[in-house]
Amino acid sequence: MSGKALDDFIAKYLPTAQHMQIRVENYDGSSLQLHAPLAPSINDKLTAFGGSIYVVAVMACWGMVYMRCVDYGLDPDIVVAEASIEYLRPVTGDIVASSIATDEKHWEHFFDRFDERGKAKIDLQSEIIVDGEVAVRFKGLYAIVGVK
């Protein structure tokens, strides 16, 4: 599987993500990993700016919903309904956020709800690992509110 659809979406619609040079590093159908170089997001402490970290973390989950919808045959209209983030330690290099795999039955329920109602919600999480330890934990509630 390829993350090309998400890279193309970013290139067409998301100038902030373009500026940050966010790109798909890996997508396998159950998890998505996004990469953003440190340079466009560096702060005065020579670490990644918290807002940039948030963008990559939220996009790892948003992108997971997007890619699963594309795989399902949809061109989705996705929103973030709720979100929270924990900054546990500085991100001292490139920002690499990975969505946490969600049980397949949650995806089945998500798509069943969408097929029934034309909209659905799913809880997702992502993490940023630095030196083998979790530096950032993100949780979000994502909603598909229609298709384009």
DSSP letters spanning the chain: ---HHHHHHHHHH-HHHHHTT-EEEEE-SS-EEEEE-SGGGB-TTSSB-HHHHHHHHHHHHHHHHHHHHHHHT--EEEEEEEEEEEE-S---S-EEEEEPP--HHHHHHHHHHHHHHS-EEEEEEEEEEETTEEEEEEEEEEEEEEE-
The amino acid present at 50, given as its one-letter code, is: G
Confidence of residue 1 (pLDDT cuts 50, 70, 90): low
For 9-60, write each residue's pLDDT tens digit.
999 999 999 999 999 999 999 999 999 999 999 999 999 999 999 999 999 9
CA dihedral for 137, 106, 35, 9, sign (positive or negative)? negative
Q: Could you read off the pLDDT of 80-121 as tens digits, one per residue? A: 999 999 999 999 999 999 999 999 999 999 999 999 999 999
Average pLDDT over residues 142-146: 94
For 7, phi then psi, to 5°, come to -55, -40
Per-residue pLDDT, 148: 81
Q: What is the pLDDT of residue 94?
A: 97
Burial class (CB in 10 A: 0-12, 13-18, 19+), 146: middle
pLDDT at 7 over 80: yes
At residue 131, does pLDDT exceed 70?
A: yes
What's the confidence (pLDDT) of residue 56? Answer: 98
Please give the Cα distance from 71 to 104 (Å, whole number): 14
pTM of the model: 0.95
